[in-house]
């Protein structure tokens, strides 16, 4: 039996079909990248729980997590590794998302919160609190958050002149950061050498002080702040096009910028208070995410995932793979620095923005 | 036919302490093409920016449909008024279709997903500006002229009744300049879009405009049909230039021919039209 | 018979009214006077209160009394303050002129962090422990870092815009300082030595130390003044300057060398001191206008005066302790810098 071949009239493509194919292809690419990032993150999370001075198999970890008491494993996993992992995850998500918001809004990948004085506020307050007042724990974290937000607010206010322009904000931020760095240096000279070393440890950024006690507030804060940023991501996309285009799309530039900055500052301040200013995570998450999902939409979620990966992998490397135990800030600092300089050179050469 | 009206009432507009536009009253005829012309720094861009709500007026009002424009919610304004700004910024690596797609924002709520209607609007805009082939290419790779057309497409994708364009012909070569202006004319004739643009080329303005507005030092000098407005006297007053005005042999609209210091074998200035 | 070929910038500049030159000369004399006053203050005031007779005696023929010894110890720091202040002022003026960037400053451009890293590595690996030994390491680190920052900041279409340089400087500093942290975390002994160097001060150097850097400062100063005319041309834009017959590359190279010598030597001997090189040329420019032939001497004089005053403030405010001059200039300089930025049009940045 032969199947008759019925000639079919060529269909007129539906309006918008041509554009839709391209868009869907880009969407697919983005979803793939995100899926890979999430998968990588899950793997790292499991590894963090398994590996250590005493290593456990994933099965043992699973049993502990589901409530069973496994002798020799439960304490280690529940009391030490799990809070550390969760802190690292939350802090990484925060630095990643907060950092990219700054870089996108100020249209320059070099304008990251740890460069433009935002983290310096938290850091200076923490160092003074440690060396002059001997604070630690929750009190220290609260001081750090409050100071971070206050300094960021001051920088914003100082750069306000009938609206805030990115360039001015960045430069004033650098100046304020410089001033706070000298305050830190001063505090370091006035303290005893052990206090100074403790302050330096805090400044480098580490997950060593991650315990269940501090996790609650951190998780609560992130649970509120991160979704807020995601809700504002549309306005961020509009702001990327310049103030005029954003206005014409119905987004008020000044108001949106203020809202975005406020939330981003809070996120970075909370993350800094929890783990110290972990070097370069906020700086590099955005550019790395950008290279992965190049041009296909909002960078908030990809950057958050990259940030979490950087922190957790950095911690793993620092704790287990080097000659001595180093805090995560050192690892991200040393590995991040050359990449940063290369990125700087590349960005300037192509004159790009995020 | 566009039913939205845009007007400016006794508006004084400026930056910081400087006043650029003095007490301007202007009504933009609905459903028509209006062009604002004038010498450099006469306030034409400033006026357009105030009409686009990018600049707050120091005194007076800007009225959209008879309501003060700063009282109307931004999203609502964005569905009626579209803008092509002078110096737009494009995010690195973004594809043409995606950038044009951003123009659909005012029509999409917070969580409204992308619909076939949005795709259709984007495609129509790309087709109209003749860049459909470039839909998937990154904007960074395009030439200045192509990029300008991408921005125009974004404004078109917004599908607003009123379109404001600040120097839409920058970076474009002559052929594309005419193409863009023809496209705007299509838009006006077929969909009744009200168009307000700033042009620095007086001849193109005279040819493509229904309603010409001439400014000098922030004040209105003349407005009306090009035939009535473009006279040697006006050219002298607004641009400080001596010229003859003849009929464009192709379109019949006024054509300004400058009289310089050289090559003026026939400098006799004739009055073009005796109206008023 | 002279044949005038290319017009010089002096010809193109609008004729200044005849009254300008004597006015600027008077202004310079006033600046020098300010320096003298600052010197006197620096000798007379400090963390220890001394009487005037002791001041005079302490400077000329100190006996063994505590007061006069204190004054005697102020002499080298006054000398150092003069030299470093002048050097930083000059370097700032040169940097701002060469990069056409009103916000260029040695500290902001990564010089200090480069020196810091060098010094830390020196302390940790080579076992350095005194200023005399740091000097050469610091110098080298400062030079490399500033060249790196300038290279990175000037890549791209627009060249070295103020914003790009500042960001390149800040980011490079962050990179270098994180390397510093890594070393310090493992070696608390190094931390103990380094944390004091990290704060810029003019009170640590002896005459022999000063003697080591003086040649660099002198050479740097001579080179700086030598390219003043070239910088006036560069201020008009590279293309215009070339059209006027200036060898832009040569001027830039010599100027950069001068800036590196001056900054590097200053950081080497006094540690990182910020904001002087940034703010002083702006103050000078308010009196001299853009001409570098006047701007540079003014910047040198004002820099010296301001640094000495900052040092005195640091010694007096926290009696009997002292706040190092690096802190004072940062805390006082940052607000001035912010005021300058606020006055500038953003487009110029």
pLDDT in tens, A126-153: 999 988 888 877 888 889 889 999 999 8
For chain A, the average pLDDT equals 85
- Number of compact structural domains in chain A: 1
CA angle C332, C335, C338 (to 5 degrees): 145
Q: How far apart are alpha carbons C301 and C87 in whole angstroms?
A: 9
CA angle A297, A298, A303 (to 5 degrees): 125
- Say if the Cβ atoms of A250 and B74 lie within 8 Å: yes
pLDDT higher than threshold 90 for residue B272? no
- Say if the Cβ atoms of A279 and C195 lie within 8 Å: no
Tokens 């940052």, residue located: C334
Residue C278 with chain A: CB contacts under 8 Å: none
Whether C31 and C305 have beta carbons less than 8 Å apart is answered as: yes
pLDDT classification of A354: cutoffs 50, 70, 90:
very low
**Which of the 8 DSSP states describes residue C346?**
G
- Say if the Cβ atoms of C199 and A189 lie within 8 Å: yes
Q: Which residues of chain C are modeled with pLDDT < 50?
A: 1-13, 348-349
- Say if the Cβ atoms of A19 and B119 lie within 8 Å: yes
Structure tokens at C327: 């802190």
A9: in domain: no
- Number of compact structural domains in chain C: 1
Q: Mean of the pLDDT values across residues A209-232? A: 87
B89, B119, B124 ranked by CB distance to A20: nearest: B119
pLDDT of the residue at A303: 95
Whether A131 and A125 have beta carbons less than 8 Å apart is answered as: no
Question: What are the Cα distances from residue B155, in Å, to A242, B148, B164?
Answer: 14, 11, 9
B119, B123, B138 ranked by CB distance to A295: nearest: B138
C252: in domain: yes
pLDDT classification of B210: cutoffs 50, 70, 90:
very high
pLDDT of the residue at C345: 63
Residue with the bigger pLDDT between C4 and B48: it is B48
- Say if the Cβ atoms of A165 and C181 lie within 8 Å: no
| Chains in contact with A via at least 3 Cβ–Cβ pairs below 8 Å | B, C
Distance of CA A219 to the CA centre of its chain: 15
DSSP for C249-268, please give it.
HHHHHHHHHHHHHHHHHHHH
- Say if the Cβ atoms of C179 and A333 lie within 8 Å: yes
Condensed to tens digits (0 to 9), the pLDDT of residues C143-170 reads 888 888 878 777 766 666 666 777 778 7
Residue B79 with chain A: CB contacts under 8 Å: 250
A19: in domain: no
pLDDT of the residue at C1: 38
pLDDT of the residue at C299: 92
pLDDT higher than threshold 70 for residue B7? yes
- Say if the Cβ atoms of B85 and A248 lie within 8 Å: yes
Condensed to tens digits (0 to 9), the pLDDT of residues C316-335 reads 888 778 888 989 998 888 89
Asked whether at least 3 C-beta pairs link B and C within 8 Å, the reply is no
pLDDT higher than threshold 90 for residue A301? yes
Task: Count the Cβ atoms, other than its own, within 10 Å of residue B62.
Answer: 24
- Say if the Cβ atoms of C330 and A345 lie within 8 Å: no
- Helix, strand, coil percent values for chain A (each to nearest 5): 75, 0, 25
C31: in domain: no
Residue C334 with chain A: CB contacts under 8 Å: 175-176, 178-179
pLDDT classification of B265: cutoffs 50, 70, 90:
confident
Condensed to tens digits (0 to 9), the pLDDT of residues B50-79 reads 998 888 888 899 999 888 988 888 888 888
Please give the order of strands across the beta sheet that includes B211-216: B81-84, B162-166, B194-198, B33-38, B211-216, B219-224
Question: What are the Cα distances from residue C328, in Å, to A116, C112, C316?
Answer: 21, 16, 12
Residue A348 with chain C: CB contacts under 8 Å: 152-156, 164, 168
Q: Mean of the pLDDT values across residues B259-265? A: 83
**CATH number assigned to the domain comprising residue A107:** 1.10.3470.10
pLDDT of the residue at C318: 80
Helix (H, G, I), strand (E, B) or coil at A164: strand
Condensed to tens digits (0 to 9), the pLDDT of residues C81-123 reads 999 999 999 999 998 887 777 777 776 677 788 888 888 888 8
pLDDT of the residue at C157: 64
Whether B198 and B165 have beta carbons less than 8 Å apart is answered as: yes
C161: in domain: yes
A234: in domain: yes
pLDDT of the residue at B271: 47
Structure tokens at B104: 């659909």
> Which residues are bridge partners to B215 per DSSP?
B38, B220
pLDDT of the residue at A115: 73
Q: Mean of the pLDDT values across residues A29-47? A: 93
- C-alpha distance from C339 to closest chain A C-alpha (Å): 9
Percent of chain A past pLDDT 70, that is, above it, reads 92
| Cis ω before C320 (30° cut-off from 0) | yes
| Chains in contact with B via at least 3 Cβ–Cβ pairs below 8 Å | A
Long-range contacts of C159-163 (CB under 8 A, 24+ apart): C160/C99, C160/C101, C161/C101, C161/C349, C162/A171, C162/C99, C162/C101, C162/C102, C162/C103, C162/C104, C162/C348, C162/C349, C163/A108, C163/A167, C163/A170, C163/A171, C163/C349
A167, A189, A280 ranked by CB distance to C163: nearest: A167
Q: How far apart are alpha carbons C187 and C179 in whole angstroms?
A: 13
Q: What ipTM score was computed for the predicted complex, to two decimals? A: 0.83
Q: Mean of the pLDDT values across residues A217-224? A: 92
A252 in contact with chain B, both atoms CB, cutoff 8 A: yes
Note if the pTM is more than 0.90: no
Residue C190 with chain A: CB contacts under 8 Å: none
Residue B16 with chain A: CB contacts under 8 Å: 162
How many beta-carbon pairs below 8 A join chains A and C?
164
C158 in contact with chain A, both atoms CB, cutoff 8 A: yes
Question: What is the helix (H) or strand (E) element at residue C153, kind and residue range?
Answer: helix C131-153
Residue C108 with chain A: CB contacts under 8 Å: 174, 178
Q: Among A74-78, A192-196, B148-152, B267-271, which stretch is predicted with the lowest mean pLDDT?
A: B267-271
B76, B105, B122 ranked by CB distance to A19: nearest: B122
Q: For A58, phi and psi rounded to 5 degrees?
A: -55, -30
Parent domain of A295: 25-350
Parent domain of C111: 78-348
Task: Count the Cβ atoms, other than its own, within 10 Å of residue C220.
Answer: 25
Distance of CA C251 to the CA centre of its chain: 20
Task: Count the Cβ atoms, other than its own, within 10 Å of residue C299.
Answer: 33
How many beta-carbon pairs below 8 A join chains A and B?
129
Residue A333 with chain C: CB contacts under 8 Å: 178-179, 181-182
Q: How far apart are alpha carbons C232 and C218 in whole angstroms?
A: 22
**Which of the 8 DSSP states describes residue A160?**
B
- Among A22, A24, A250, A254, most B C-beta atoms within 10 A, so best to mutate, is A250
SS (H, E, C) chain B: CCCCCEEEEEEEEEECCEEEEEEEEEEECCCCEEEEEECCCCCHHHHHHHHCCCCCCCEEEEEECCEEHHHCCHHHHHHHEEEECCCCCCCCCCEHHHHHHHHHHHHCCCCCCCCHHHHHHHHHHHHHCCCHHHCCCEHHHCCHHHHHHHHHHHHHHCCCCEEEEECCCCCCCHHHHHHHHHHHHHHHHHHCCEEEEECCCHHHHHHHCCEEEEEECCEEEEEECHHHHCCHHHHHHHHCCCEEEEECCCCCCEEEEECCCCCCCCCCCCCCCCCC
A222: in domain: yes
Residues 6+ apart with CB under 8 A from A345: C151, C152, C155
Question: What is the helix (H) or strand (E) element at residue A38, kind and residue range?
Answer: helix A17-50
**CATH number assigned to the domain comprising residue C241:** 1.10.3470.10
Whether B86 and B54 have beta carbons less than 8 Å apart is answered as: no
A221: in domain: yes
C232: in domain: yes
B269 in contact with chain A, both atoms CB, cutoff 8 A: no
A256: in domain: yes
């Amino acid at each position: 039996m032969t199947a008759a071949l019925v000639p079919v009239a060529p269909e007129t493509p539906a309006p918008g079909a041509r554009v839709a194919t391209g868009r869907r292809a880009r969407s697919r690419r983005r979803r793939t990248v995100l899926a890979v990032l999430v998968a990588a993150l899950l793997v790292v999370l499991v590894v963090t729980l398994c590996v250590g001075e005493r290593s456990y198999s994933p099965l043992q970890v699973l049993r502990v997590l589901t409530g069973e008491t496994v002798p020799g494993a439960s304490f280690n996993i529940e009391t030490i590794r799990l809070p550390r992992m969760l802190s690292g995850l939350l802090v990484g998500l925060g630095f990643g998302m907060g950092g990219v918001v700054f870089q996108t809004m100020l249209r320059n990948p070099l304008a990251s919160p740890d460069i433009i004085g935002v983290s310096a506020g938290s850091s200076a307050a923490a160092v003074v609190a440690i060396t002059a007042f001997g604070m630690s724990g929750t009190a220290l974290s609260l001081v750090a958050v409050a100071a971070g937000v206050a300094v960021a607010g001051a920088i914003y206010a100082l750069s306000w002149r009938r609206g805030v322009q990115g360039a001015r904000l960045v430069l004033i931020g650098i100046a304020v950061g410089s001033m706070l760095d000298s305050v830190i240096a001063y505090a370091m000279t006035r303290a005893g050498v052990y206090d100074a070393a403790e302050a330096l440890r805090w400044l480098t950024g580490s997950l060593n002080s991650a315990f269940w006690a501090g996790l609650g507030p951190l998780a609560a804060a992130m649970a509120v702040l991160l979704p807020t940023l995601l809700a504002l991501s549309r306005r961020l996309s509009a702001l990327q096009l310049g103030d005029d285009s954003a206005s014409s799309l119905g987004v008020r530039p000044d108001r949106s910028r203020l809202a975005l900055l406020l939330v981003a500052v809070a996120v970075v301040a909370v993350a800094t208070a929890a783990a110290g200013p972990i070097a370069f995570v906020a700086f590099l998450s955005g550019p790395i995410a950008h290279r992965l999902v190049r041009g296909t939409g909002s960078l908030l979620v990809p950057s958050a995932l990259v940030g979490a990966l950087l922190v957790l992998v950095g911690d793993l490397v620092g704790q287990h793979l080097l000659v001595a135990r180093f805090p995560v800030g050192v690892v991200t600092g040393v590995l991040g620095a050359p990449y940063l300089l290369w990125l700087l050179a590349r960005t300037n050469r192509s004159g790009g923005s995020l | 036919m566009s039913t939205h009206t845009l007007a400016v009432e006794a508006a004084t507009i400026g930056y910081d302490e400087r006043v650029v536009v003095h007490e301007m009253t202007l009504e933009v005829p609905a459903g028509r093409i209006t062009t604002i012309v004038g010498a450099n720094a006469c306030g034409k861009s400033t006026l357009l920016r105030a009409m686009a709500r990018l600049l707050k007026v120091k005194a007076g009002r800007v009225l959209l449909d008879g309501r003060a424009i700063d009282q109307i919610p931004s999203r609502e304004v964005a569905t009626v008024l579209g803008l092509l700004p002078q110096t737009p910024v494009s995010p690195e690596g973004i594809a043409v279709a995606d950038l044009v797609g951003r123009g659909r924002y005012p029509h999409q709520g917070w969580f409204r997903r992308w619909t076939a209607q949005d795709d259709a609007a984007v495609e129509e805009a790309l087709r109209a500006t003749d860049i459909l082939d470039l839909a998937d290419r990154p904007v960074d790779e395009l030439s200045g002229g192509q990029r300008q057309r991408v921005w125009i497409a974004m404004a078109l994708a917004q599908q607003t009744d009123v379109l404001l364009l600040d120097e839409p012909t920058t970076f474009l070569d002559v052929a594309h300049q005419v193409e863009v202006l023809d496209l705007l004319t299509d838009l006006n004739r077929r969909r009744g879009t009200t168009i307000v643009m700033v042009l620095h080329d007086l001849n193109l303005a005279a040819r493509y405009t229904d309603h010409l507005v001439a400014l000098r030092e922030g004040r209105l000098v003349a407005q009306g049909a090009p035939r009535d407005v473009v006279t040697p006297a006006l050219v002298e007053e607004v641009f400080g230039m001596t010229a003859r005005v003849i009929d464009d042999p192709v379109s019949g609209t006024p054509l300004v021919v400058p009289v310089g210091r050289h090559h003026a074998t026939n400098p006799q200035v004739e009055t073009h039209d005796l109206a008023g | 018979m002279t044949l005038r070929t290319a017009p010089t910038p002096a010809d193109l500049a609008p004729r200044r009214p005849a009254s300008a030159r004597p006015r600027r000369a008077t202004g310079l004399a006033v600046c020098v006077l300010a320096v003298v006053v600052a010197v006197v203050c620096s000798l007379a005031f400090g963390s220890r209160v001394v009487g005037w007779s002791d001041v005079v005696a302490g400077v000329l023929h100190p006996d063994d009394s505590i007061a006069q010894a204190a004054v005697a110890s102020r002499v080298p720091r006054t000398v150092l303050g003069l030299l470093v202040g002048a050097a930083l002022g000059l370097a700032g003026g040169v940097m701002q002129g060469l990069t056409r960037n009103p916000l260029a400053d040695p500290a902001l451009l990564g010089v200090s962090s480069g020196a810091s890293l060098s010094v830390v590595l020196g302390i940790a690996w080579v076992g350095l422990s005194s200023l005399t030994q740091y000097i050469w390491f610091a110098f080298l680190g400062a030079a490399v870092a500033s060249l790196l920052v300038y290279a990175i900041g000037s890549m791209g279409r627009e060249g070295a815009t103020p914003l790009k340089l500042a960001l390149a400087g800040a980011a490079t500093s962050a990179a270098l300082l994180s390397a510093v942290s890594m070393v310090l975390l493992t070696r608390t002994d190094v931390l103990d030595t380094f944390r004091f160097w990290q704060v810029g001060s003019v009170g640590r150097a002896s005459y022999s130390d000063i003697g080591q850097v003086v040649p660099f400062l002198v050479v740097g100063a001579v080179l700086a003044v030598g390219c003043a005319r070239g910088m006036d041309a560069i201020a008009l834009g590279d293309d215009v300057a070339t059209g006027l017959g200036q060898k832009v590359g040569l001027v830039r190279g010599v100027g950069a060398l001068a800036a590196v010598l001056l900054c590097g030597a200053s950081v080497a001997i006094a540690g990182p001191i910020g904001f002087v090189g940034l703010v002083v040329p702006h103050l000078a420019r308010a009196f001299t206008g853009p001409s570098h032939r006047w701007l540079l001497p003014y910047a040198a004089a004002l820099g010296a005066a301001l640094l000495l005053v900052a040092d005195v403030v640091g010694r007096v405010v926290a009696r009997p302790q002292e706040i190092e001059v690096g802190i004072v200039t940062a805390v006082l300089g940052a607000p001035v810098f912010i005021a300058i930025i606020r006055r500038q049009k953003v487009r110029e940045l």
